[in-house]
Amino acid sequence: MEGIIVLDKPQDFTSFDAVAVVRGLTRERRIGHTGTLDPMATGVLPLLLGRATKAVSLLPETAKTYEASFRFGEAYTTGDVTGEVIKTDETPVLRAALETALDSFRGDILQVPPMYSAVSVNGQRLYKLARQGIEIEREARPVHIAELTLLEYNENEKTGKLHVTCSKGTYIRTLIEDIAQKCGTVGAMTALRRTAACGFTLADAVSLDTLKAMKENGESFDEILRPVEKLFSMLTAVSVTPAQAQRYLNGGALTISRCRAPKIAMPEGTQVALYEDGEKFLGLARAENGEFKYVKSFSKK
């Protein structure tokens, strides 16, 4: 089996749990995922099966989109309501003040990763230290918030929901805590749903229950498998001849000027997706010294 199953991960499952269930259903040993979702979170989790697992280390940097629910007035050890309450605050937060605060978090910002995270500092995972009651200093990291919209807000309950499109490595829990601080109070995430990642949306996703039903009914999973090239749809597509395709598959470089590449600038290091005769996906190449150098093939040839 080869391709991508876009899973709508259920709550209280780790990404590893989800992989294990799908491995059992599909009998495909080689399965990887494109980015961890916390157990509390639900939503889009692309799973790579078979030869598609080769793409894990090559994925382009793409934004991810979330809907995040929050509540002001309580802070938790974990930054979300799965932890223990460590502080309460009754400061009211008006919608207008919240909207103004959001302006400070759009675009390029610095964010300190939470202690309850998989980030490593001096070779130690932060969450392991946090579970021992140890807190250490963490360096702020640059992240990008492309979209930040207030979808709902109840001033009396101090609860709401945000739409967030952000770069890889952004912690939504921390974003909510920082927004609360900007509003003069404390806050925490109460729910998180990833609605888009790696070019896929919830419309592409299937639930574990659906997969189990397909298995029970003897249906083929091929119907829901997405092609691996979908992961690279944001890259420039370059068409090559069958002869050039064979040279590429043998590890050879291709002269850019002899390929049917779009007439656009190709800075050194630009990664492109190669297609034989513009149709069959071959793999990835990198522009270097006027040539497309072999990166990784996904062809069965």
Write out pLDDT tens, residues 93-110: 999 999 999 999 999 999
CA dist., res. 267 & res. 3, Å (int): 30
**What are the catalytic residues?**
38
Do 64-197 and 3-58+199-228 have the same topology in CATH?
A: yes
**CB contact at 8 A, 99 and 108:** no
- Residue length of the chain: 301
Q: What is the pLDDT of residues 257-292, one digit of tens each?
A: 888 877 777 889 999 999 999 899 999 999 999 999
| Average pLDDT along the chain | 93
Identify the CATH assignment for 3-58+199-228 out of 3.40.1160.10, 3.90.1570.30, 3.30.70.141, 3.30.2350.10: 3.30.2350.10
What is the DSSP code (8-state) at residue 171?
A: -
Higher per-residue confidence, 242 vs 125: 242
- In terms of Cβ atoms closer than 10 Å to its own Cβ (0-12, 13-18, 19+), residue 278 is exposed
The predicted-structure confidence for 18-53, as pLDDT tens digits, reads as follows 999 999 999 999 998 887 888 999 999 999 999 899
Strand, coil or helix: 10 = coil
Residue 1: what pLDDT?
Answer: 84
Q: What is the CATH number of domain 64-197?
A: 3.30.2350.10
Rounded Cα distance, 167 and 61, in Å: 8
Nearest to 241 by CA among 265, 276, 216, 211: 276
pTM: 0.89
Backbone angles phi, psi at 98, to 5 degrees: -65, -45
At 119, is the secondary structure helix, strand, or coil?
coil
Each domain of the chain, given as residue ranges in start order, spans 3-58+199-228, 64-197, 235-297
Fold of 235-297: 2.30.130
